Amino acid sequence: MTDRLLTVAEAAEQLGTGERFIRRLIAERRIRYVKLGRPVRVPESAVTEYIEARTVEPTRRTRTRTRTRTRYGRAA
- For residue 39, the model assigns a pLDDT of 95
Q: How far is CA 48 from each of CA 53, 58, 76, rounded to the nearest angstrom? A: 9, 19, 55
Contact between 8 and 19 under an 8 Å Cβ cutoff? The reply is: yes
What angle separates helix 8-15 from helix 19-27, to the nearest 10 degrees?
A: 110
Spans of the chain below 50 pLDDT: none
- For residue 73, the model assigns a pLDDT of 64
- For residue 62, the model assigns a pLDDT of 77
Q: Is the pTM of this model over 0.75?
A: no
